[in-house]
Amino acid sequence: MADSNKKRVVITGMGAITPIGNTLTDYWQGLMNAKNGIGPVTAFDASAHGSQIAGEVKGFNPLEYMDRKDAKRSARFAHFAIASSKQALADAKLEITDLNAEQIGVMIGTGIGGIQVMEEQQEIYLSKGPSRCSPFMIPMMIANMAAGLTAIQVGAKGPNSCAVTACAAGSNAIGDAFRLVQNGYAQAMISGGTESAVTPLTFAGFSSMRAMSTRNDDPTRASRPFDRDRDGFVLGEGCGILILEELEHALSRGARIYAEMVGYGMSCDAYHMTGIAPGGEGAVRAIRMALKDGDLLPTDVSYVNAHGTSTPVNDPNETAAIKSVLGDHAYKITVSSTKSMTGHLLGGSGGIEGVAAVMAVVNDQVPPTINLENPDPECDLDYVAHQSRKQLVNVALSNSFGFGGHNVTLAFKKYP
């Protein structure tokens, strides 16, 4: 049973910078319209790489959210976080003042942080010597700086931290923020995940692992979760932010409430550096924990926003995990992977996918899994192929799994 002493937590604002739209509205409309954000890499010359495609953010101008000096002294992953956070605060109509600043915190996860800065500064070091490296190199590249700089930009003086759990980072950040509000350590938290790792070194590393799609001649069909012809994930970039707020605080200021966050489950496979425990055993425990935490039954679940990476290992194991927890009810719900449209944002994925799950609850409409033409026989659930679908969504789960065996499930519920 739910602990009656714990505070209820609601979502009152959201923001998004993604490969298919740079506002919450544009992102959601992109999902509903099955918009594809994947194309040839433009950030660098990828011709020497095995994978040459990505879900890049287009038309983003950090100067719309901060001044030129601050933009120059911070990395792209932090720009995305600041922009999405300012969008989310405006959406929530939550003003941070001297009176409430210490009660509003920031929790933003990232998998890799400012790797672009590190690569650029390494080139300078090798070609011009150590004295020419930027004095801002370290603060620009360290992973916590998205959370730190966002707090500086918006004046949030409450709890501040950064989850770095690979591709589960954004979801861990939202879950950790949920716990802080639930237990009374903050009235509101700015939470989510951000990533900008479309760089030569990142591509070299993932390509060496043979983890990325090499469907370079057909980029819009490269990310194909649950399809038997999938050949790896497509790297994406961006950020998703949710404002998590204590219910009574939200009601007292007349805030618009999107949905209630009710559950957070996390576990570790303790199995393999990059692989997944057979049958998604660790994911099973995370999903069960989220349901128990939210006082939910398996039959309460309407929709699962899957981790759905389009890799041979993830998709069947995640499917098995969902079936293991939900039993026969797994065949009565919808499951989809929005990575089919955005690519895989690594540590940022939990942020934009958390946003998508909440919007599904709000709008009673679920995003599709595009490019699902020939389902893998081991992937036999309803993945909402090709087009979004209207349906009642009372409870949505969002799954995220990361290298190191990190498993996270978030549970969102209709309010009231």
User: Active-site positions?
Assistant: 167
Ramachandran angles phi, psi of 191, nearest 5°: -140, 150
Rounded distance between C-alpha atoms, residue 254 and residue 120, angstroms? 47
Could you tell me the sign of the dihedral formed by the alpha carbons of 134, 201, 343, 315, in that order? negative
Cα 66 to the center of its chain, rounded Å:
23
Peptide bond into 377 cis (omega under 30): no
Distance CA 39, CA 48 (A): 16
Can you tell me the distance from the alpha carbon of 294 to that of 285, in angstroms, rounded to the nearest whole number? 14
Phi, psi angle pair for 241, to nearest 5° = -130, 135
As beta bridge partners, residue 212 has: 233
Would you give the DSSP letter of residue 372?
A: -
- Exposure class string for 202-236: b at 16+ Cβ within 10 A, else e: bbeebbeeebbbebbeebebbbbbbbeebbbbbbb
Gyration radius from the chain CA atoms: 20
From residue 399, how far is each of 121, 331, 335, 408 by CA, in Å? Answer: 35, 17, 11, 6
Place of tokens 């603060």: 139
DSSP category for residue 279 = G
CA distance 382 to 236: 25
d(C-alpha 322, C-alpha 306), whole Å: 9
Phi and psi torsions of 265, nearest 5° = -125, 140
Angle value at C-alpha 131, between 66 and 77, nearest 5 degrees: 30
- Are 49 and 200 a contacting pair, CB within 8 Å? yes
CA–CA separation, 26 and 228 (whole Å): 30
Q: Where are the alpha helices (DSSP H) in 247-396?
A: 247-252, 281-293, 314-326, 339-342, 349-363
